[in-house]
Structure 1
Amino acid sequence: MKLLKRVLLLLLIVIGVAIYFNYPKLNIISGYAAKNMASGVYVAHRSAASINQYDNSAPLIEIASTEVNEQEESASSTVYGLMERTAVYRDGLGTVLVNDDYDPEKLTIRPQRNQPPDTIPYPFGQAAPIDTVLPEVDMDQINKAIAMAFSEPETQKTRTLLILYKGHLIAERYIDGFDKDTPILGWSMTKSVLATYFGILEHQGKLEMDWPAPIPEWKDDERKNITLNHLLRMQSGLAWDEDYTGISDVTRMLFLDSDMTQAQRDKKAIAKPTEIWNYSSGTTNLLSGILRQQFRSHQEYLNFPYSTLIDKIGMYSMIMEADIAGNYVGSSYSWASTRDWARFGQLYLDKGNWNGEQLFDSTWVDYITTPTVNSDGTYGAHFWLNAEGKYPDVPKDLFSCNGFEGQHVFMIPSKDLVVVRTGLAEEPFFDINGVLSNIVKAVP
């Protein structure tokens, strides 16, 4: 009997320790599930059942129970009845996880959008793409690449694939439940979009990349030497933990913070600028806060991404989500259809020129594709690179926007190609090199 009591006591201690160390994680799990559900339903217009079955079935997230409140346009999640989190939808600003700081009456302004109809064929306008046969394109090879991308649905989990060649739509494919109009969460592809606003401001003569970051808290310590360039290249030397497996800087920011521009701002320097390369979602949201500082009013800040880029190139499906404080979550939260993500890639392939208008300098593309020191040739300025041949069978001039779970916009200038792939799995489950190499073989 004494032995049994000791075993039971030991078991209770083990359970107690497990709960003590894992209970805070439930906050992140239920927060992720609620945010994903609310955005999936109210931004992407998908069914709650589909999101529960696929998007929220990831390890750990699957233990959350999530319900939608259609009347309040919200979603709430718990883990075994604990740690309830709620995300609410706000027109024009997407969804946000609420906390004690959330006041639905406080943030009433939204981005002003301009979406005029036109008769220009896709991708440069809103009309249907031209049904053109390009004799130099080996469509059998293209079809082989597409088949490869969708060949193992249970492991690859590809949802959409689209290919532009010389500004022509030559192929696209969607799984059931998705089509050309379905908004897809870009996750960290949003970082490349956020960076583009700095390229636009530079083109307008309003800032330069070697300017010191305008952070008053840094002016009297070693952080005063950090420039916009250092931030865009993730080489500021600031501390940051980009770990999604537990409680970390990035998970606290995305699922707990009201003002996501503050997390990286408060970090100390652990190295001098350029000494280390450290990928940081906090840095991108800090840049979103710096972007906001460039405008006299919050309304101007909210309008700027749409008036100068998103609506300008016809990405009418795109929504950039904001935090409780009204800052765009540039690290992670933008939604757009596969066709609209491809428009963004085409803009970069054309070096910032859209229907004859230069939105950013052509030299900006040279800037963002110049490898950053200590990144092993894989990173430029908020864009990913193939400069050192990470994808050995693909041209080295490839650059891309990459996001969690295998969201990609690939641009290959030497082949005049834009390839968009979205899904729920990434390498090694999705063979980027294999799919892209087959596409590349199809064009001269």
Structure 2
Amino acid sequence: MKKISLLFILITSLWSCNSDDGNSSNEEAMYFPPIGSSTWETKTIASLGWNETQVQPLLDYLELKNTKGFIILHNGKIVMENYFNGHSATDTWYWASAGKTLTATVTGIAEQEGYLNINNKVSDYLGTGWTSAPIAKENLITNKHLLTMSSGLNDALGDDVSPANLQYVADAGTRWAYHNVYVKLQDVVAASTGQTWTNYFNTKLRDRIGMTGFWFQSGENRVYRSNTRSMARFGLLALNLGNWNGNQIIDNSYFRNSTSTSQNLNLAYGYMWWLNGKSSYRLPQTQFQFNGTLIPNAPNDMYCALGKDDQKIYVVPSKKLVIIRMGDAADGTNFALSDFDNELWQKINAVIN
């Protein structure tokens, strides 16, 4: 009996030492920088076993390609943080369409708080006549269609989202087109919560993860502007599927849906997140389907926020990485994806692999 008891204790001890509960000694806990503090823990490239000889070529490339701010986080800690071309850690820059993911996230927060349902039609919140489409066609458009760029409205008429400029082309859900109409979701959130978009965003997302920054009006768009670390904070939230240091800011299942194929028209698109590793993809301003993955040199499980002139948030769960790039266009002006993405990942891979 004594031998059996000792054997049981030994087995239990070994199981406890080797169990993978996220707290084992050989697994580093995810780090979250404190709210309201400039403190952010770092780790070295050497400690990760990365190739230090390839760091300078990466930095040279970033500077050559008009980068202003660049950050790599591993497990939440800063591994690289570099600024170029007169930019600094405290300077702000615009997110452009990378900020679409902020709108998608706050829409999900409003849904989890019971203010809206993404499967309801937009006219439930904004009233009819928010487009110039026939009422029967307008009433086909749900909040989810705006999240997934499948409203069926004409994307060739520019950024104006006045009713006269939101014209019917196809039934909602039958055509994927990158369209500025997504900004109407901000109006849906404001109408359903009874708050201004900015106030709801600040209290429910920005302030809860320690971001700074502000929305400004650019034509028909509200565009977000912040320092590079604030963008990295949002990327860290995305890496953790909407959880910030144990606090579930946005519903986990909603965030998983955000970063999964959301419709069968563009496999590489979620709720305003771009998805790598799919068998095909579509790009803004075209109805052509491209075969292959979005960014071949990047990991297949990566999801990313992509903005005009190469604003980037890359999130790679398998490698516990968040990578941020802010700046002017690397080459020519572009709407989201560019050749720069694939070239940049070639340089990043030389460092991290």
TM range (shorter): 0.7 to 0.9
SS at match of 1:320: strand
Name the residue aligned to 1:295. 193
CA offset at residue 171 of structure 1? 0.3
CA deviation vs aligned residue, 1:81-129 (integer Å, no higher than 9, x gap): xxxxxxxxxxxxxxxxxxxxxxxxxxxxxxxxxxxxxxxx873442422
CA distance in 2: counterparts of 1:365 and 1:426, whole angstroms? 30
Give the letter for the 2:48 counterpart: E
CA deviation vs aligned residue, 1:208-263 (integer Å, no higher than 9, x gap): 2211112422594222121111110010111232xxxxxx422xx3xxxxxxxx42
Name the residue aligned to 2:221. 329
Name the residue aligned to 1:385. 275
Q: Does 1:128 align with 2:36?
A: no
Name the residue aligned to 2:139. 224
SS at match of 1:225: coil
The normalised TM-score by structure 1 is 0.61
Q: Is the 8 A contact 2:66 2:85 kept in 1?
A: no
CA distance in 2: counterparts of 1:202 and 1:141, whole angstroms? 48
Change (3 A) 1:201 1:424: same
Q: 1:275 aligns with which of 146, 155, 174?
A: 174
Q: 1:184 aligns with which of 93, 107, 110?
A: 93
The normalised TM-score by structure 2 is 0.76
- Aligned pairs (5 A) from 1:45-444: 123-125=33-35, 126-133=37-44, 135-140=47-52, 143-144=55-56, 146-147=58-59, 149-150=61-62, 153=64, 156-213=65-122, 214=124, 215-217=126-128, 220-241=135-156, 248-250=157-159, 253=160, 262-263=161-162, 267-281=166-180, 283-298=181-196, 301-316=197-212, 318-322=213-217, 329-330=221-222, 333-373=223-263, 375-388=265-278, 389-426=293-330, 431-440=340-349, 442-443=351-352
Give the letter for the 1:439 counterpart: I
CA distance in 2: counterparts of 1:355 and 1:309, whole angstroms? 14
SS at match of 2:193: coil
Aligned residues: 296
Q: Is the 8 A contact 1:368 1:383 kept in 2?
A: yes
SS at match of 2:221: coil
Q: Is the 8 A contact 2:152 2:172 kept in 1?
A: yes
CA distance in 2: counterparts of 1:295 and 1:417, whole angstroms? 34
- Aligned-residue CA RMSD (Å): 2.7
CA offset at residue 294 of structure 1? 1.2
Gaps of 5+ in 2: 1-30, 279-292, 333-337
CA deviation vs aligned residue, 1:330-372 (integer Å, no higher than 9, x gap): 4xx1101011101010001011111221111111222112224
CA deviation vs aligned residue, 1:120-159 (integer Å, no higher than 9, x gap): x8734424222433623415166156335325x2xx2122
SS at match of 1:292: helix
SS at match of 1:294: helix
CA distance in 2: counterparts of 1:391 and 1:208, whole angstroms? 33
Does 378-387 or 130-139 show the bigger shift? 130-139
SS at match of 1:135: helix
CA distance in 1: counterparts of 2:167 and 2:340, whole angstroms? 38
Change (3 A) 1:220 1:383: same
SS at match of 1:196: helix
Give the letter for the 2:187 counterpart: G
CA distance in 2: counterparts of 1:427 and 1:385, whole angstroms? 23
